[in-house]
A = this chain, B = another copy of it.
């Protein structure tokens, strides 16, 4: 049942939850998941603590829900448009360009880089979930690189795992330079570095497809 078919009071509950989640993601992006206290999030949304606890019985549940909301926002903005593009290097171009745009234009930058650094030394369910989603994303990136290789857009010798490692690094480098150093040129440098990195492993046909995907993203 989609939210539109819910009775009015449940629709309001759904809308409240969506609004709380969108805001929680923005807070966590800049300040981290530990900044999400029940009291603060309730006050920001003009609801009572008891009301918020009805949605999220504990801080950990609020943090976990925020991690899922961040994943969903990333999927919608970056992964979905790529899946709708032709497979191969074209899709890869859409994905990489979308990834840069999504991260570079956000105050606070990369949600997952921020919460990964925050939780990497804090064992528990929140850290485990962040690690699972990071593996999921790096796996998806590797599979898209393998797909591009399998259809002859990347050279047979291309190492999808190493390429994903490098592309992720370029994104992290861009994020640090944007957020900490305020370098306006970081997104353009990341775009050049990512394209250089893929083109070095691409076939002639793959280079054209990458450029088409990049430009139509």
Contact = CB atoms under 8 A, between A and B. Distances in A.
Contact of A165 (B118, B127, B135, B170): B170
Contact of A168 (B127, B161, B173): B173
A179 interface: yes
A166 B173 contact: yes
> What number of copies of this chain does the assembly contain?
2
Contacts of A121: 30-31, 108, 179
Main secondary structure on A side of the interface with B:
helix
Interface string A157-169: 0000110011011
Interface string A106-141: 001100011011111100000100110011000000
A179 B120 contact: yes
Interface string A168-202: 11111110110111000010011011001100100
